Amino acid sequence: MTIVQAAVETPSTARGAIGRCRGCASILPLRWPAENETPEDWVCANCGERYRGIRIQNLPREYAKNARLATAVASKPVGSHVDVEVEAFLNPVRAHEGHAHPITIAFPDRPKIVCDLENSFSRDLDSHLSLTGALELPSQQSPFAAELRDVRNRPYDATWIQRSIEQVLQSADDVKNQFAAVTEGRRADFEVFRTIAREQLRQIVEDKDVFACLGIQPHLGDYPSRHALQVSMLAMSMGVAMGWDVVSLLDLGTGCLVHDAGMMSVDSSQYGKKGILSAHDLGEIAKHVVLGLGTFEHRMGDVPERALIVAYQMHERSNGTGYPRGYSLERIHPLARVAAIADVFVALVSPRPHRPGMVPYHAIKKVMQDTEHGLFDKQAFRALLDTVSVFPIGSFVALNDGRVGRVLRPNPGRYDRPVVEVWRRGNVGERPAIVNLSEQADVAIASSMACLEG
């Protein structure tokens, strides 16, 4: 698909403003493009007005420009509450007429990244992974999910949210400090990462949905330490949905926390540039996995074997197109399969110097499409849906009865019918009602929204 720089008229010149169609004045899935962003050519779904732009060639699919253009902010609710391609994938989700989002974004495939870098640690790990049983989860003890508080149909507790945010900020500082130690040639303390993972389990017990919601909040800055923390949060939440025990969750969480330590050995200009990342840039970034293993060996002390495997394999893809070794599904550890999806989803919704973040609903669609194409494990993708839903927790939606809302909690197995706090359109200052859409047959999500309108 052609990628273009849109020429758009909006009522405001402020960056980030939601645009209106110059033909019918309806609110559109559009915001004013910022510098160096490349939205695609598109058509108003309401009146058909066309907008044209400038071609940008060879845009890597992982680094989509202005993916927020795909947000559907409907001027009126439409007939469907989930796209047909989502319906086709998520059997037995019931089919509906129409499309919630007539505008989509597609990007050309980039060449496979090949990383031939190795060290003694990577060679030893590759040898270990070839052994029988190395890629299997041990017999699981009691599922950690049995420890969770029942928070169904409950609003978020403001006091707990504040405490959780404070803990996330503290954990982010701790990860950043440990990564800084690696950069300065000092020895990092692996027990700090383990302590963070244990604290994250405590937060999951109190309110798993608040925890997951904070894990997928867009954040610009403190890369890669903040990214590692949020990937750990989402992956552990998904691991709970997988039915895993405490030991497996701790290995998963700590593996995600340390997985980007090798990025401290990569020139920050490679991943911090504002332009489109070149094939050379991507190749240099791919080296961070093996470089990280050297870091673990010399500067981090004893890291559990399965945490190492998570850090080593979470950039692999089920169809063999990942890095550093191009392993396919049967050679990727189950923990790493979950970590891979968490890593990509957090990356998609988070802004980076070279592109903005993607709207969560469209990030779900992107991961779903990649799963259909064989990049990710389907069971792990369903764990993502069980954790955040098709319309991810924290995102805004329009209902088919004219009300608007924010997604609070998923309903496992009912991916398109989460628990939502709702307001009458134009009255978002009111106290919201809590609606469990799995219990309301006649109420459904019509579309996702970029924001709530007064």
The model's pLDDT over 65-89, given as tens digits with 9 standing for 90+, comes to: 222 222 222 222 333 344 444 444 4
* Domain total in the chain: 2
In a domain, 204, yes or no: yes
Do 144 and 67 lie in one domain? The reply is no
Do 104 and 135 lie in one domain? The reply is no
In a domain, 18, yes or no: yes
pLDDT of residue 182: 76
In a domain, 216, yes or no: yes
Do 81 and 221 lie in one domain? The reply is no
pLDDT of residue 336: 97
pLDDT of residue 322: 86
In a domain, 453, yes or no: no
Do 276 and 375 lie in one domain? The reply is yes
Do 61 and 163 lie in one domain? The reply is no
Do 163 and 106 lie in one domain? The reply is no
Do 196 and 343 lie in one domain? The reply is yes
pTM of this prediction exceeds 0.85 = no
Do 25 and 139 lie in one domain? The reply is no
Residues in CB range of 173: below 8 A, 6 or more apart: none
In a domain, 244, yes or no: yes
Enumerate residue ranges in the chain where pLDDT < 70: 1-122, 220-221, 261-301, 354, 453-454
Give the pLDDT confidence of 248-288 residue by residue, as tens digits: 999 999 999 988 765 655 555 544 555 555 566 666 666 66
For 68, the domain range is: 1-110
In a domain, 287, yes or no: yes
pLDDT of residue 214: 94
In a domain, 220, yes or no: yes
pLDDT of residue 21: 53
Do 64 and 210 lie in one domain? The reply is no
pLDDT of residue 225: 84
Do 60 and 157 lie in one domain? The reply is no
Domain end marker among 80, 110, 140: 110
Domain end marker among 372, 388, 404: 388
In a domain, 238, yes or no: yes
pLDDT of residue 292: 62
Do 196 and 84 lie in one domain? The reply is no
Check which CATH number belongs to the domain holding 232 and give it: 1.10.3210.10
Do 186 and 276 lie in one domain? The reply is yes
pLDDT of residue 80: 38
Domain end marker among 388, 413, 436: 388
